[in-house]
Amino acid sequence: MSTEFGVWVAALMTIGLFSFLYKDNPFFKVCEAVFIGSSTGYWAVVYFFDNLQKKLWEGIFPPDGAVGDAWLWGGAILGILMLCRLSNKIGWIARWPVSFIVGATAGLYMINYFVSSAMMQVASTMQSLVVTNGGGIDWQATIGSVVVAVAVVSGLIYFFFSKEHTGAFGGVAKVGIWFLMITFGASFGYTVMSRMSLLIGRMDYLFGDWLGMIR
């Protein structure tokens, strides 16, 4: 069993949150409050030093006395305008920095996302359906590339809204929904794996780090 004070605190906090699974209770609520408080505080400190202090303040006033970057003032002003949201009277002014962020994100995403997730994906789908190796046909790879091509095309057709899903078009769309379901099924399986990993991590902490029952 651990003799470290911190490990005990951590273990009790873990149990406190898990107690909600049985029933809502004051112990859970205390742990939840500590969680909200400590996490908000943690993030605030990280942003304070790594950004506001290190980048903004020392960027404008370099510690070695060099000339600072005057452009950073723009960011500082936008940031301060952001804080105006706290006031009901001049809260509307916070729309300026918000517009800036929304616009910048839109601009960056519009092209970058399009390049990586559309153009590059279209380009890399243009593969030969028949894959040969040496003299003969590599059947495994051939089936694979046929499957990829069919999945992409039929999936896109399913999400095509300008034409009714009838006839051959409807048939392809049907294949599309099957591939989409396989895709979702796989991500479902992976999600289970992820969540279970988290639980295993916690259990390992309780039985290993705290109680010392696992070596």
Partner 1 sequence: MRREIPLIITTIAGLVFAISYFIPHMPFGEAETIFGDWVTIVQAFAIWLGVLNLLRVTGEKIHRKRPGWTYAAIVIVTMVGTIAIGIYEGFAGMNATPPSSYRDAGTTFDWIFQYLYDPLSSTMFAMLAFYISSAAYRAFRARNLEATMLLIAAFFMMGGRVPLLDQLISPFTDTLVFSKLSSWIMNFPVAGGQRAIAIGIALGIMSSSLRVILGIERSHIGGGE
Partner 2 sequence: MVSTANQGDRRCATNLIRLLLVTFAVLLTFLHNRALADNSAVDTSSVVSASITPLAPPTSLVVSDHVYDNAERLDLVWVPSIDDKLIASKLIEYRVYRITDSGDGQRIAVLPAGANSFSDENVESGHQYSYYITSVGADSEFPSISSEPIEPEREWLNYHLISLLLICMIIGVAITYFIETARRGKKLFIRRIAGLEAIDDAVGRATEMGRPILFIPGIQDMDDVGTVAGVTILGRVCRVVAEFDTKISVPTSRSLVMTAARETIKTAYQTAGRPDKYSDDMSNYITDEQFGYVAAVNGIMVREKPATCFYMGTFYAESLLLAETGNSVGAIQIAGTSNPMQIPFFVVACDFTLIGEELFAASAYLSSEPKQLGSLKGQDLGKAIALTAITIGVIAATGSSAWHIGWMQDILNALESIFLTR
Partner 3 sequence: MMGHYIALSLLAVLGLGMIFIFYLTVKGRTIERRFVFLYIVFTVSLPLFVKMKPPIQVSPEVQQVVETITSLSPGAKVLISCDFDPPSAPELQPMLVAFTKYALKHDLKLIFMGLWPLGPSQANRGLRLALADTIIAAKNLTYGVDYVNLGFQSGNEFVIQAMGGSFKSMFPQDDRRIPYDSIPLLNGVVNYRQIDLVMNFSAGKPGTIEWIQNAVDRYQVKLSAGNTAVQAPQVYPYLRAGQVRGLMGGMSGAAEFELALNEKGKASSFILSQMFSHLAVMLFVIVGNVAWLMTRKKK
| Residues of the shown chain interacting with partner 3 in the complex, contacts defined by CB under 8 A | 21-22, 42-43, 46-47, 50-51, 54-55, 58-59, 64, 104, 108, 112-113, 115-117, 120-121, 123-124, 148, 183, 186-187, 190-194, 196-201, 203-204, 207-208, 213-214
**What is the C-alpha separation between 11 and 19, in angstroms, rounded?**
12
Q: Which is nearer to partner 3, 90 or 200 (CB)?
A: 200
User: Segment 44-73, which members bind partner 1 (CB under 8 A)?
Assistant: 44-49, 51-53, 55-56, 59, 71-72
Binding string, residues 116-135; x marks residues near partner 2 by CB under 8 A: --xxx-xx-xxxxxxxx---
Segment contacting partner 1 by CB under 8 A, of 128-136, 164-172, 182-190: 182-190
Q: Which residues contact 51 (CB under 8 A, 6 or more apart)?
A: none
* Beta strand 136-137 pairing with 132-133: antiparallel
Is residue 114 a contact point for partner 2 (CB under 8 A)? yes
Tell the smallest beta-carbon distance from residue 163 to partner 3 (Å): 25
Residue in 46, 44, 38, 40 with CA at minimum distance from that of residue 17: 38
> In angstroms, what is the minimal distance from the CB of 116 to partner 3?
4
Nearer Cβ to partner 1 (111/135): 111
Q: Which residues of 125-143 are buried (b: 16+ CB within 10 A; e: fewer)?
A: eeeeeebeeeeeeeeeebe
What count of other Cβ atoms lies within 10 Å of the Cβ of residue 188? 11
CA distance 113 to 118: 7
